Structure 1
Amino acid sequence: MSVLLFLLIGVLVLTVGGCVCVVWAARGGPPWVRAVATATLVAGRVVSKRGTKSNNGSSNQGSDGND
Structure 2
Amino acid sequence: MIGAVLLGVLTVVVGGCVCVVWAERGGPRWARVVATATLAAGSLVRHAHRNRRRGLDRSGGDDA
TM-score over 0.5 (shorter chain): yes
Unaligned runs of 5+ in 2: none
Unmatched runs of 5 consecutive residues or more in structure 1: 63-67
The percent identity for this pair of structures is: 52
**What is the total number of aligned residue pairs between the two structures?**
60
TM-score by length of 2: 0.83
Calculate the TM-score normalised by the size of structure 1: 0.80
**Deviation beyond 2 Å, 4+ runs, structure 1:** 57-62
CA RMSD of aligned residues (A): 1.6
C-alpha distance in 2 between matches for 1:7 and 1:54: 25
Q: Determine which structure has the larger helix proportion and give its number.
A: 2
CA distance in structure 2 between the aligned counterparts of 1:53 and 1:4, rounded to whole angstroms: 28
